[in-house]
A = this chain, B = another copy of it.
Amino acid sequence: MSNEELEQLRASLDEKNKDLLKLINERAEIVQKIGNVKSKSGTKRYDPVRERRMLDLIADENEGPFETSTLQHLFKQIFKASLELMGDDEQKALLV
């Protein structure tokens, strides 16, 4: 019984992983489009104010179970990977 329950939960987790993967890649596509728009207008791709706003949005919207600080850490990793995807020279600024 407990084993069956475990298998069901694992199947749900696999589905969530797939959804998450899809969503992270969709997010990356939007970031690429933003990079293109900024590239045309000559604007810097890395925008710390905008990043701060996105982190604040996470704090506002978080209903748990993860702590906001944990989620913000995860999102910073996603932001960093997204900048790397754009091949942005300014990506190092994010690590400061």
Contacts and interface: CB of A to CB of B under 8 A. Distances in A.
Interface residues of A, number: 52
A79 to B, nearest CB: 10
Interface string A1-41: 01101100110111011111111111111111110011011
Give how many copies assemble into the complex.
Answer: 2
Chain A, interface SS category: helix
Given A10-B50, A33-B9, A85-B65, A75 B27 contact: no
Contact of A78 (B3, B74, B85): B74
B77 A74 contact: yes
A44 to B, nearest CB: 13
Nearest to A76: B77
